[in-house]
Amino acid sequence: MPATFRTVATFKSSAFNTSEHREYFINPGCFGDDVARWFAQQLRSKGHQAADEPGQEDFGWYLIFKVANVSHCLVVGYRPDDAAWIGWLERDRGLVGSLLRRRSRDIQPAAVVAIHEILSGSPQIRDVKWHFAHDFDHGREDLAKPDPSLP
């Protein structure tokens, strides 16, 4: 059954670090720690649980958070070619669930809505576009919509 909500967001913002390489970055250009911390603060301000600190990936950062008592993961990375941030929403499934590719299953609409409200409600964020993961993965960014629930 296809997803009813888009779960990949692209957006632009000049409020976050995209030029200063920090010594704790796993790889050069591994920006997004400040974005993930900002999302955590925004989620907490809306009454959701969020990890105190984000984790680092090879290409960016991830934040574990709960909406309606269901654990999700927001992965954030920077794409310098078009100066865009990318946020992927997944379920937090742990190692075994990740190995079994269950991270894309059962993403709760409330989690998507929470991230969308943060993005669309911030004056620091512009050009928010939501993508179905399969479209985004296949380079079909032209199919994006400004709202995650639009057909």
DSSP string computed for 34-81? HHHHHHHHHHHHTT-EE-SS-EE-SSEEEEEEEETTEEEEEEEEEETT
Give me the residues paired with residue 11 across strands. Answer: 85
Q: Which two tokens stand for residue 11?
A: 């957006």
What pLDDT sits at residue 95?
A: 47
What pLDDT sits at residue 68?
A: 87
What pLDDT sits at residue 106?
A: 72
Q: What are the sequence ranges of the domains in the chain?
A: 10-139
pLDDT in tens, the chain (151 residues): 345 789 999 999 999 999 999 999 999 999 999 999 999 999 999 999 999 999 999 889 999 999 989 999 999 999 999 999 999 999 875 544 444 455 566 788 999 999 999 999 999 999 999 999 999 999 999 999 999 987 7
What pLDDT sits at residue 105?
A: 60
What pLDDT sits at residue 19?
A: 96
